[in-house]
Every structure is written in structure tokens, then in C-alpha cells.
Structure 1
Amino acid sequence: MHTILVVDDDAAHRLMLQAVLTDEGYEVAEADDGATAVAAVKAAFYDLILMDVRMTEMDGIEALEAIKQISLGIPVVLMTAYPEVPLAVKAMKLGAVDYLTKPLDTDELRLRIAKMLGHYTLSAQEQAVKTRLAEASRLIGRGAAMQTLLDTVALVAPTDTTVLILGESGTGKEVVADIIHANSDRAAQPLVKVNCAALPETLLESELFGHEKGAFTGAIAKRQGRFAVADGGTIFLDEIGEIPVSVQVKLLRVLQEQQFEPVGSSKTLTVDVRVLAATNRDLEAEIAAGRFREDLFYRLNVFPIHVPPLRERKDDIAALAEHFLEQYAEKHQRQIHGLSPRALDLLMRYEWKGNVRELENTIERSVILCREELIMPQHLPAPLQALSEDLDAETPDLEPGITLKEMEKQLILSTLKQHDGNRTKTAEALGISRRSLQMKLKEYGIS
């Protein structure tokens, strides 16, 4: 059954649409303004959104823009009683699939929706991908930036396209590679991982392509390379920017022809391997410096995916901290129920140069040190404790057992107070967009 989200601040019009759509066999959810709709899209999947343009709080155009940042693939139909050509053009540019004028012709509406759902409905495989991606989001974040990334992954995963994953160390590039492979047609076949930075040039070629007995000093037996092991599946080349130029030539041939010769052999091997690669380097700068082949770059850069650093998506920190806390509390058999508001505030203020990996390590260390129900600032590493001096002394301590959502609400309230209610400055201090702050205020009923 298809689920349609109806967004309109006119209760009577919502009720009419609900009746029409329910009669057609659709499941209908409702939202009375744009901000509520955006929150609903973050929380659940909808096959189609039918949304009014003129609404209080957040209008349909602003909500459309926010929804497309969360999930690019959801078809959105806008409705208006005030048809304006410039507005319609803007809506289409932002990704609306249709623009209807009120009062709606219900017969025409039924036909249009049926046609659109027929065109945009995900296949059973893609639906399964979305389900697995929702769980995977626990590993790398659930904010708008990462949801957009996961939507992109859902599109490329079922293909055989070469993917280049870009991002700083610790952002979760390997997790993205895992997700792509797990949601591909090759999921039942091996995912072979090679850290190209961990092997010297003399061994890397042999590791990737294998060697014959006696091919070089120490080659006492024939060895199968990682590409051969990955035949039928996927190979993940981590830190691809570290591969020496001499090996890049051979790698280029594999990408072009799916063929190579093991070291010391004249026999050509053919493989069927999907290539995923990752790097924290600027490969175009490496090309300019003569350290990376331009032709190899373009072979790898068929479908680039950028994983943003944690400092640019601070709305992920609380959820990631909760995930790691659950994981390591169970591993180390600790009865820890959360973080104190001050400890959470320190996590939010920290720069996280090591990204998600550094956050994970920080939470595990804190779990080991903690003998209480909540992780407190004293359980955090010294660099985070040093940030305590910058915190408002009035930030209240809350009772044990408080949820992370309650902590987040308290953090927003205290930061608003610090900035005299200025929402722009509050959003900057929290490291989130003003729109994200507005949605949080709406969610928590903060006026």
C-alpha cells in the first residue's frame, strides 16, 4: 500500500483529500505546516507528498527545499489557490514533480497521483535497500547531510558503477563502502578490502594482483592476489591516493579491461570485480603534483560520494553518541543510561578532527572510566574537559535517566538563553542550520 503525506494548514481541505485518497486505497498521513512535514519525512518513508504552498510557520516552497535535502527521491506535488508562473517555475526547479491549482478536480487528482506513483514507485529491491540503509544510518548519522548521502547510496548500490568515496579520515568511508556492497547484486559474493597505505610499493603489486613462485626474493610459493579473490564480488581500495605510480598503470588496466597478469607471470587473468575506492587526499592536487595519473582518476571518479566531516554535521553527534554508548556499555557490561547535559554539550562543542572514529573512541573510553549511571565531563578526555570553561555556569544538571532528546531540548534552551533568544546565533553556536533549529523548536514545542 502506498503512503501519501498530505500537508495543508486548511483542516477542511486536508480532510477532503484524506477521504478521496483513502477511497483510492492509499494510506494517508497528515501535517498542518511545512515544519511538521519536514519532521515527518525525517521519521518515516512516504511514497508521495501532496503539499500546499501558502502555510504559516514554514511555507511549501521552503519545506520542499528542506525535504529534498533529506530525501531527494520523494515525489512532491504542490497545491495553491494563488497560481503564479514564477512560483511554479521555482517549485519545479527545486524538484516538485507537479503543481496543482485549487480547487482541485478530484478525478484529475486521482489520475495524476496514480500515474506519478506508477512512475516513481521503488522496486522491491530498492525498498529493501531503503530498509537496510535506515539501520546503517545508525553507524554514520541521521542528519540531513547523511540522509542525502544515503539516498545517493541507494541509487548507486544496485549498479556495477565504480564509486570514489571522498572524505577526511574517520568520517565513515569504509562504512559507506560496506553499505554499497551489502545493497548490491554482489552482496552474496566477497567484499575484499585493501588498505593501500599499509603496504610498501614492493608488496602492494603482489597483494593486489598475486605472484608466481620465485617471482621475487621471498616468493616461495604462488599466491593469489586480492583482485582474484574478489572475483564476482567487490574490492574496496582504501587510501587509493597512496598507490605509487608504477602500480597505478596496472590498476588502470584492470578498471578498463578487467584483466591483469600476476607478478612474474605472462598469463592474463580476467576477473569480474566491482571497484570501490576511498581517499582523504585531494586527487586533483595529486595529479597536478605528478603523483597520481589523470586517466586513472577519471576511471575511478565515475560516481564520487563525499562524506562530510563530523564538525559540519553536528546534528549527528547526539545520535551517534547514543549508538556508541549502547554498543560499548553492553560490551564492557556497564549500567550507563546516557550522558549528562554538560557532557553532551562538550561533545557538541568539540571540533572532532578525527571525526566519527574519534567520537567512537571517546565514548568507549568514557564508558570504561564511568562507574555511574551517566557519563559526566570528568569521564571525557582532557581536550573536551578543557571546553568546560566556556560553558554557561547556569547550565542545569538534570536527574539520572534523562533521555538524549530531553538533553537536546535543554541544550537548545540554554543556548537560546545565552544568545538572548537570537535564533541565528543559537544555530551557529549549536553547529546546525537555522532551518534545523526551527524544526527542533517546533518538535520540542519551544516558542
Structure 2
Amino acid sequence: MKYSILLFEDEVELRQEIKESILLDGVEVCAFESWDQFVATKLERTPKLAILDINLAGKDGLSIFQDLKERYVDIEGIIITGQASVKNAIASVKLGVRDYIEKPFRAKDIRAAIEKCESYKQFRVKNYVADRQLEESRKKFEAHWGIEFIGVSQSIKEINTLMKRVAQADATSVMITGESGSGKELIARGIHSMSERSGTPFYPVNCTAIPDSLFESEFFGYQKGAFTGALANHEGWFERANGGTLFLDEIGDMNLALQSKLLRVLDERKVTRIGSHDVINVDTRIVCATNKDLKKMIEDGQFRLDLYHRLNSFHIHIPPLRERNEDIPVLVNHFVRLFSETHSKGIVSMHSKAMNLLVNHHYPGNIRELKNLIERAILMCDSNVIKAQHLNFTEQTNNGIGDGYDYSLETVEKETILKAMKACSHNKTHTAEKLNITRQALNRKLKKHGIE
């Protein structure tokens, strides 16, 4: 966030001196010697304040400020003069000039005048609030998400550094690569959470899950009556994520025709709904992810080179879990605490043999696989220590081969309850105690699984 100041001074040395003296934290200064030079310049931001010498060659400072007010209604002004007069002072007040400084002046006089401006006060407050929100967002993110990818390995420490850097580059597109289950969406959420967009929508889209026939209407939206079934206006993904972050997961599954349209939106930052001619400006940060080799896809003509470079402004690669097994004990302890609390179990530790099995496993499913293993183990464990027999690696493979048994969490939980009920002769109070949950929680689970 920047506070933009216009400076009009036709004396070169004085202009440079004033510019250097007012470059406060978060302030940018655009300096001009005349109105004509200003008109010929394209500004990137709306100016909040104008500092003008009243005696300029050509159009004088008061006239310039009057014209600026027509362009920027809320702009404030500070007039500098070497020949103070009541007439000029009155004219300045009538135009809404905030302060009136006589030459010679000191640098601190200019800074003091800026600090009295209402727009600068609001800027400082917003910056303070934004800094506090950013810090709170960082803490919240690290507490809730960070442990799943911030470990003790050097590669994860480097990822953490990259995330913090790119989070502050508000408009930079980010490409996250890594195997399935490695935590790509968590990285994307982390970047959003630590950026100035943290209070705006984070909109995740799985490109694999959307049929090609619906992709364009979902991307760009449509107007009522645009086609059969368009019964109401529909916002596209870019509109929904406007001001925030649009996360495109599995970007490599997007077809070439849609890649071309996505590239145009990224370049123009504008979308048009299907069935409409109205152009909608969008300010959306793009973070995308893939587990595919996009360079190979480019060689095979399956992915556009120009889109690749547009999306790959900043690249973060997540190494597979098997290449950083020093992170596994940290993750295991986190998941044990998380699921022990979620399922109201009193499990506090992992037996050394069980930990050795986990550390030495190959993890084709990466963190997602480890997470599922620990949750299953929590449900199967009847004591406060997870042992080797509570771990089941049977279907944790990439090739989809299993032993025919249903290892879904629903099934495991139901069988665990039935096992406890049988051991307690169907006494609900004793069963709840054995499962280390409340009687009310047990009743909810019995109803959920249809157990009488």
C-alpha cells in the first residue's frame, strides 16, 4: 500500500530537495516542473496529496490545484510560496488547501504539514491495521496450516522463505509443483494468508473436476438468457475471487482453447460474461499448481509456452515426503495431537517401532497418505500409545491395488465402536469410557452409523 504525493516545483534543486525530504515510509513522490509535464505522464496510483509552489512558470500552483481537484475529488493540497499574501492565503483556503508554507522552510516543516493531512492520517491508520492483520494472519496460518509443510528439513525452510517473499509481491503469479498429496494447496493458502489480500476471498478451483463444456461459463460467468438453462446472472471464478486469490489446481489438465482465453484475461485483467458485451475489470492474483511436467507438455504441444511463462513468474517446488523424512516425526506428532483431539481420544504418543515404520515408509501419497494413516491409527488404538499393529499400509499405494477391504474412515470408526460395544456388553456408559468420548458423543456416532 502506497501513499502517492504529487510535487510541483520548477526549481530543479529545490524540487529534488523536497522530494528527498518527504520520502517517508510507504510514500511515493511523483515530481513535476509544470502542469504540461504532469498531463503527459500516466500515473499508476490515485494521488492523495499535492505539494505546489504557487509561482510556477506557465500555470500557477493554485490553478493547478483547482484542476487537480476536478480530476481527484479527495486530493489535499499544500502550497509553498516565497511571497506570502493575504489574497493568496484566502484563495488557498477557498480551494481547500490543507496548509500554506512560506519560504525559506525546513524539511521538517514539510513533513509536519504532510502528517497533518487527513488522508495521510488515514493512510497511517490503514497501514497499522494492515500490519496487525498481516501478523495475526501469519500466526493463524502457521498455527493452522504451517506444520503440514514447514518442517525441519532445509527444503521446507527454503519454501517458507519463498512463500514470505512472494506473499508481499501482490500481483505476481505463482506456480507450485509437486506430487499429489504434497501440500500444494496449503502453500497457496499460505501465500494468500500472508499477503495484503488475506482479508479477501481465496477461491480454489480443481481444473480436473470441471468438464470442458462448463469450463468457460464457470471461468467467465454468464448473463441471464445467454443459453438454455441460464436462468439468472452467474459470476465467474475471476469475479468471485476479485480482489483476492484464484487458485487453479491441476492447471495442466486445462485444454488448449481455454488456455488461450485464460492468457488473454491474465494479460488484460478484464473478463466478459458469456452473453454480455460489458467488460468487467478484475484484480485477481493467480496461484496455480500441477503434478505434471509442463515443459514436456509444451514439447508435445499440450500446453502453451506463453501461458507457462505468464503463470510461472515465481516457482515453488515441494519435494516428496520420502526425500525429506526428517520432517516425518514432526508431522506425525502434529497429526496425533490433531486427531486425538478431533476424535476425543486420549492418545499422547507413538511407540518407537511404529515411528520407525512411518519414517521408513515410501509415501507415494505424500502428506495426505501420512495424515490418513495417523487418523486410522487413532481410531484403531484403544490405549494412549499408538503401536505398530495400529498402522495399516495396505492400500497406501499409487497403483490402486488393495486387499479388497474397505479402509474408509467411516468403516473403521463404525467397526471400532462395534468392537467396543461388544467388549462392554453393549453398555453405553462403559463403551463411551473405553472409547474415551462422552456418552453424548457416542450417541451421536451410534445414530450416524445406524447402530442400535
With normalisation by structure 1, the TM-score equals 0.56
Q: 1:384 to 1:190 in 2, by over 3 A?
A: closer
Q: 1:222 to 1:384 in 2, by over 3 A?
A: closer
1:393-439 CA-to-partner distances (Å, cap 9, x unmatched) read xxxxxxxxxxxxxxxxxxxxxxxxxxxxxxxxxxxxxxxxxxxxxxx
1:141 aligned onto 2:174: no
Query: CA RMSD, aligned part only?
Result: 2.3
- Residue of structure 1 in register with 2:352 after alignment: 341
Q: 1:218 to 1:253 in 2, by over 3 A?
A: same
Q: CA deviation at 1:384?
A: 9.3
CA contact (8 A) 2:349 2:385 kept: yes
CA contact (8 A) 1:310 1:355 kept: yes
CA contact (8 A) 1:377 1:385 kept: no
Q: 2:366 aligns with which of 355, 358, 374?
A: 355
1:146-182 CA-to-partner distances (Å, cap 9, x unmatched) read 1110011111101121101111110000000111001
CA distance in 1, matches of 2:373, 2:206: 24
Counterpart mapping for 1:196-207 below 5 A: 196-207=207-218
Q: CA deviation at 1:354?
A: 0.4
Q: 1:267 to 1:309 in 2, by over 3 A?
A: same
Q: CA deviation at 1:215?
A: 2.6
Amino acid of the structure 2 residue aligned with 1:338: S
- Residue of structure 2 in register with 1:305 after alignment: 316
Q: 1:368 aligns with which of 364, 374, 379?
A: 379
1:270 aligned onto 2:281: yes
Q: 1:385 to 1:267 in 2, by over 3 A?
A: closer
CA distance in 2, matches of 1:272, 1:138: 30
Partner secondary structure for residue 252 of structure 1: helix
- Residue of structure 1 in register with 2:233 after alignment: 222
CA distance in 2, matches of 1:267, 1:134: 41
Dislocated runs of 4+, deviation >6 Å: 123-130
Counterpart mapping for 1:284-295 below 5 A: 284-295=295-306
CA contact (8 A) 1:157 1:184 kept: yes
1:246-300 CA-to-partner distances (Å, cap 9, x unmatched) read 1111110111110121122222211011111111111111111111111100100
Q: 1:213 to 1:174 in 2, by over 3 A?
A: same
Partner secondary structure for residue 292 of structure 1: coil
CA distance in 1, matches of 2:135, 2:154: 20
CA contact (8 A) 1:346 1:384 kept: no
Counterpart mapping for 1:22-421 below 5 A: 135=143, 136-142=145-151, 143-160=153-170, 161-383=172-394
Deviates more, 1:171-180 or 1:259-268: 259-268
State the aligned residue count. 264
Partner secondary structure for residue 383 of structure 2: coil
CA contact (8 A) 1:347 1:384 kept: no
CA contact (8 A) 1:237 1:276 kept: yes
Partner secondary structure for residue 189 of structure 2: helix
Q: CA deviation at 1:378?
A: 1.1
1:109-166 CA-to-partner distances (Å, cap 9, x unmatched) read xxxxxxxxxxxxxx97897787567544312131221111001111110112110111
CA distance in 1, matches of 2:137, 2:242: 23
1:310-352 CA-to-partner distances (Å, cap 9, x unmatched) read 0111011011011111111111111111111111000011100
CA distance in 1, matches of 2:150, 2:329: 9
CA distance in 1, matches of 2:387, 2:204: 38
CA distance in 2, matches of 1:298, 1:385: 35
1:200-237 CA-to-partner distances (Å, cap 9, x unmatched) read 00111111111122333322222111100111111111
Q: CA deviation at 1:197?
A: 0.7
Deviates more, 1:193-202 or 1:266-275: 266-275
Q: 1:385 to 1:284 in 2, by over 3 A?
A: closer
CA distance in 1, matches of 2:322, 2:275: 47
Partner secondary structure for residue 226 of structure 2: coil
- Residue of structure 2 in register with 1:38 after alignment: none
Q: 1:187 to 1:152 in 2, by over 3 A?
A: same
Partner secondary structure for residue 272 of structure 1: coil
CA distance in 2, matches of 1:382, 1:184: 38
CA contact (8 A) 1:163 1:304 kept: yes
**Structure 1 unaligned blocks of 5 or more:** 1-122, 387-447
Partner secondary structure for residue 304 of structure 1: strand
Q: Which has the higher contact order (CA 8 A, sep 6+)?
A: 1
Amino acid of the structure 2 residue aligned with 1:238: D
Counterpart mapping for 1:433-444 below 5 A: none
CA contact (8 A) 1:133 1:154 kept: no
CA contact (8 A) 1:130 1:154 kept: no
Amino acid of the structure 2 residue aligned with 1:370: C
CA distance in 2, matches of 1:325, 1:317: 12
